[in-house]
Amino acid sequence: MTRDVAVLGAGMHPWGKWGRGFVEYGVAAARAALEEAGADWRDVDSVVGADTVRAGYPGYVAGATFAKALGWQGARVTSVYAACASGAQAISTARAQILAGLADVVLVVGADAAPKGFFRPAGGDRPDDPDWLRFRVLGATNPAYFGLYARRRMALHGDTLEDFAQVKVKNAASGALNPNARYRSPVSADDVAASAVVADPLRLLDICATSDGGAALVLSSMEYARRHGAASPVRIRAVSTVTPSYPNTVLDLPDIATDSAVGKEPEGPGFRGSIARAAYEEAGIGPEDLSLAEVYDLSTALELQWYEDLGLCAAGEAAKLLREGATAPGGRIPVNPSGGLASFGEAVPAQAIAQVCELTWQLRGTTGARQVAGARVGLTANQGLFGHGSSVVAVR
């Protein structure tokens, strides 16, 4: 039995620092997705909004915020928050509503107006919040974690600063071809090396920025798609939102200590590996079936880690895969042909949705100069704070 849902439309508001509210970005993306779908706003049965928690009260009710801005028309509404995985949770919720027969057409939308500089915790004292604690107890910003991850790869696998720089070079070249990207200029390895050290060994150009932006999808049942002339749409075949398993022996944001493995040996893949494995199992595919992948490159070193977690190569071989050009445009498995976070920056509630927008356009063959030839199967991957998995498989 197929559990596919159709992607009728995808839309984005370009990433940048625009100085306006997140609602404006989300509405622009939603209207673009509806136009691409050939659907009227009044055709939408349900709205699922990915929350923007730093934007004040409206962010906590993002679904209703977008529904109101588009014009009240009685649709069901849902709001979700899962940090960087919010968009995937929103897609999963929309898919469940469609498969349950509760809605034929669902609008999924996320947008952000991010603060300048690196993310910091919201105000107030929350000693039971591990995200608050890691700032207050350790002073561990996100880049501090990224630097630790990079050092771990260098120590375990021999990755080099040049390897990290080449990830940025690759993604910047793709981002230069993407009209929705914030940064649209090629970057050289020398540019990366010359940029300021932020969290040794990572330079400024190794780490993604924070951005404003929005992304939206119009999803429907396959029956609705066929009735409305979409005989062979891009389909979402799997969504993975798994949590870690005990013992989790590698530090992940925002944890400040690993689980004890004294009484139990780790089994199977780590958390990030389990995210992809669940997606593959549900979709009935393996990494060898992928045409492309969109991964959450918070830093250049983290993109390399995703290569291994997605099963694109064995542990410790990510840098080799990169050096061979396998993940570059025209390679065996292009990764981040959109340009990734290196070119976009983080607009947290929108980013996992934006990844699926890119898969949709790639699988349709409409991305122009950055097109992956013959793309048939794509996968997204990221993770949210506190153990939120995020992976979507789309097929054509």
How many residues does the structure list for the chain?
396
Quote the crossing angle between the two packed helices 300-309 and 142-157, to the nearest 10°. 60
H or E, element range at 309: helix 300-309
Please determine, for residue 257, whether its predicted confidence score (pLDDT) is greater than 70. yes
First to last CA, the chain: 17
Q: Kind of pairing, strands 197-199 and 234-240?
A: unpaired
Of the candidate CATH numbers 3.20.20.70, 3.20.20.150, 3.40.47.10, 3.40.1030.10, the domain formed by 5-117+213-233 belongs to 3.40.47.10
Residue 227 burial (C-beta neighbours within 10 Å; 0-12, 13-18, 19+): exposed
Q: Is residue 120 pLDDT above 80, yes or no? A: no
HSE-CB of 48 using CA atoms within 13 angstroms: 26
Specify the amino acid at residue 233. Answer: P
* Cis peptide upstream of residue 254 (ω within 30 degrees of 0): yes
Span 260-294, pLDDT tens digits: 666 667 777 788 999 999 999 999 999 999 999 99
How does residue 117 score in pLDDT terms, banded at 50, 70 and 90? confident
Tell me whether the CATH fold assigned to 5-117+213-233 matches the one assigned to 130-205+236-395: yes
Q: Tell me the per-residue pLDDT of 19-34, one tens digit each, with 9 for 90 and over.
A: 999 999 999 999 999 9
Which CATH number is associated with domain 130-205+236-395? 3.40.47.10
Question: What is the rounded average pLDDT of the residues 25-47?
Answer: 97
Distance CA 34, CA 62 (A): 18
pLDDT at position 53 is: 74
Nearest partner of 22 among 221, 215, 208, 243, judged by Cα: 215
Of 386, 300, 392, give the one whose Cα is nearest residue 343: 300
Per-domain boundaries in the chain: 5-117+213-233, 130-205+236-395
